[in-house]
Amino acid sequence: MLDTKQTISRIKMGIEVFPPALLFKDKWDEVVIFLQELPIPPRRKKELIVEWTQYVGVTLTRDMVKEVLGLEADEV
């Protein structure tokens, strides 16, 4: 049986996962912490990084993915 966090994660699968306060270019450091703490697979975290960068107008870099995923960045 899914717990509440898992259910919410499955329902909210796009940019709406992010709290509105994090939807600004200058919030990257807070976005990193937010994504690291989400109980979702690394591949999904990478997808959310892509969605966030597109939404706020930032160029996605490999370093950004590594900052969130650490050693798992090379696997996704």
* pLDDT tens for each residue of 17-44: 999 999 999 999 999 999 999 999 999 9
Using alpha carbons, select from 6, 72, 7 the residue that is nearest to residue 45: 72
Number of H helices, E strands in the chain: 4, 0
What share of the chain in percent tops pLDDT 70?
84
pLDDT at 74 (0 to 100): 84
**Per-residue pLDDT band at 5 (split at 50, 70, 90):** low
Question: Cβ contacts of residue 46 below 8 Å, gap of 6+?
Answer: 65, 68, 69, 73, 76
This prediction has a pTM of 0.81
Average per-residue pLDDT for the chain: 88
pLDDT at 12 (0 to 100): 57
